Structure 1
């Protein structure tokens, strides 16, 4: 037993006739495909459905498993009398949380959350309700384990999905997994999240990847493309795919359409024979990549890494090595140290003007600060050190500019200043390809309104990675 089938389903309430009325004709293909999913679930005869929603409590650092009475309605869509209620599978939920804890994937039960603080109600959200509306038209005798994803790295979401699969197998349960999520919300002018031509490109690429079940291509998707698409389903998909780790998979896209500017895709995934674990292959590849980085890192990056590793393991600040270059020992400059883990930022702290005796001391202090004092993240733990990737930016002295026309986000970093409020953005950052976006982010970091009279400075960096 274990995972017997997985499905990607959209969640627009307009698909439901009681809500959408005549408008449902515009999503006929999605409705027919959703009913086909219901029929397939009847054929598979699972004991439990695990469903992942983008519209429950979504946290930056944890996955939330619902732990309240599993009831919901469509009152927010004008149909309060349309309700659904389910029996929770407490055994599977407990086993999933246990397996996730063993894999060190942070999870939280909704019962410990202050729902009013987040403007939420303790009832099933429409990300759960819409797919289950169609499934329950065909069968209602199924237990439920609903959850929302967290804003974790994709591979952590995938690892959590693997925990779901292992939990189902250890309990010898037949389980179906449903990833609730829409694709791009920016397909057409007037779409809910605005229009971006890259929305269509994203949907076409994602559908092709799902049809081929090409996890490498999914992992390597351009992050800027993902951001511009304005999607809400990709993280649900990553958890679902993780439940199939180590299995050959038969994939089928049942429908796709986007009449309201939002992409609706229904797809089915069936586990077949066993194969190599994609997750293990990914981790092996990453370990090899990091090993090569360590072997070829320049003195700036090596010093940053050794500074943080020594401090995390011993609590001591290393002394400046004697064998460094004259530039590192005698010159002064502002320095930023950036740390990434599994492709995600893990810390970044720097100084845009020198504060230490030399560049080497600047690197040592800022590396420790980036790993242990960045307020956006918890301090780096010793077990994380082998996975960290470092870069060091040495800054030129900032110079004032009298016009945004003299900025270039690829060449120059930017500093905006109004009184004591200051915001800085390094150059050549992924997804920051226009001056407007660069200034927008810098102003937001500084807490400066765009209509205020503020100063602009530019600087260049020499990047070591």
Structure 2
């Protein structure tokens, strides 16, 4: 709730969401460019449905800037070019944080895990440039669940690497060293099964360390995966 209040006080005109669970394109960053997004999430025998308009001008600016800088990205749509049938699924990685945020249009971006960590940082830099050139105020959410191997009864089983990776992620966030997540070994990542590294590195490119203010809020692993909440803001207007 605290993060939602902070975002509301910032009064963004739109929000960019970096999600691990959106529509993936092999070898390319995926950027929503439909008229709207709609999705549902079931929890505790209840269903929550969310519909969001897409800030299409910003989506296209982000894609254009990324392509101009040699990054592999693409906008995606479905059904029709515009109108009510132009609709993509809104995934749970976006629905959950957006549930607590102001009701404004969004752009949802899904990383490409087959691209290098450095390319994710570079894409974040392009995102920063596009936002700086945009004539509206933009919020940014990096939706990150962490290691998924905390519980032997979970779908990915148990691995001690899960606790170790989450502890390292917490420390890197606390100490404003997001870029060092790019140093995690591939076997370590495979054992721990995190979902947060790629979005975090895009955020790291969008807000460089010298301009980054970090307020670490919480870490918990209430089930088989870990969760971190932190507020990361820029010292000056981008």
The bucket for the TM-score relative to the shorter chain is 0.7 to 0.9
**Aligned partner of 2:213 among 250, 254, 257:** 250
Superposed CA deviations along residues 239-264 of structure 1, whole A, max 9, x for unmatched, are 12211137421112211110212101
**Aligned partner of 1:126 among 87, 92, 98:** 92
Q: Contact 2:33 / 2:56 at 8 angstroms: preserved in 1?
A: no
SS in 1 for 2:163: helix
1:182 aligns to what?
145
Aligned residues: 228
- Alignment of 1:147 with 2:113, yes or no, is no
- Alignment of 1:202 with 2:141, yes or no, is no
Q: Contact 1:184 / 1:199 at 8 angstroms: preserved in 2?
A: yes
Q: Contact 2:178 / 2:201 at 8 angstroms: preserved in 1?
A: no
SS in 2 for 1:188: coil
SS in 2 for 1:145: strand
C-alpha separation in 2, matches of 1:107 and 1:246: 24
Unaligned runs of 5+ in 2: 80-86
- Alignment of 1:192 with 2:155, yes or no, is yes
C-alpha separation in 1, matches of 2:27 and 2:198: 13
Instruction: Please report how far the alpha carbon of residue 233 of structure 1 lies from its aligned counterpart in structure 2 after TM superposition.
Output: 1.5
C-alpha separation in 1, matches of 2:179 and 2:127: 21
1:218 aligns to what?
181
1:241 aligns to what?
204
Q: Which is helix-richer, 1 or 2?
A: 1
Aligned ranges 1:310-459 → 2 under 5 Å: none
Q: Contact 1:89 / 1:144 at 8 angstroms: preserved in 2?
A: yes
Q: Contact 1:72 / 1:129 at 8 angstroms: preserved in 2?
A: no
- Alignment of 1:170 with 2:133, yes or no, is yes
- Which protein shows a greater Rg? 1
Large movers: runs of 4+ above 6 Å: none
**Aligned partner of 1:47 among 13, 38, 54:** 13
The change in CA–CA distance for 1:53 and 1:91 in structure 2 (over 3 A counts) is: same
The change in CA–CA distance for 1:75 and 1:267 in structure 2 (over 3 A counts) is: closer
2:75 aligns to what?
109
Normalising by structure 2, what TM-score?
Answer: 0.88
2:22 aligns to what?
56
User: What is the Cα-based RMSD across aligned positions, in Å?
Assistant: 2.2
**Aligned partner of 2:222 among 254, 259, 281:** 259
Q: Contact 2:181 / 2:197 at 8 angstroms: preserved in 1?
A: no
C-alpha separation in 1, matches of 2:41 and 2:160: 34
Normalising by structure 1, what TM-score?
Answer: 0.46
Instruction: Please report how far the alpha carbon of residue 109 of structure 1 lies from its aligned counterpart in structure 2 after TM superposition.
Output: 1.9
SS in 1 for 2:187: helix
- Alignment of 1:227 with 2:193, yes or no, is no
C-alpha separation in 1, matches of 2:187 and 2:65: 33
Unaligned runs of 5+ in 1: 1-34, 114-120, 275-465
The change in CA–CA distance for 1:263 and 1:171 in structure 2 (over 3 A counts) is: same
**Aligned partner of 2:54 among 75, 85, 88:** 88
The change in CA–CA distance for 1:213 and 1:220 in structure 2 (over 3 A counts) is: same
Q: Contact 2:146 / 2:227 at 8 angstroms: preserved in 1?
A: yes
Q: Contact 1:254 / 1:268 at 8 angstroms: preserved in 2?
A: yes
C-alpha separation in 2, matches of 1:246 and 1:238: 12
C-alpha separation in 2, matches of 1:188 and 1:75: 22
Larger relative contact order (CA 8 Å, sep ≥ 6): 2
Superposed CA deviations along residues 155-209 of structure 1, whole A, max 9, x for unmatched, are 1111111111111111243211111121000112212311001100000001100
Aligned ranges 1:266-281 → 2 under 5 Å: 266-272=229-235
Superposed CA deviations along residues 406-450 of structure 1, whole A, max 9, x for unmatched, are xxxxxxxxxxxxxxxxxxxxxxxxxxxxxxxxxxxxxxxxxxxxx
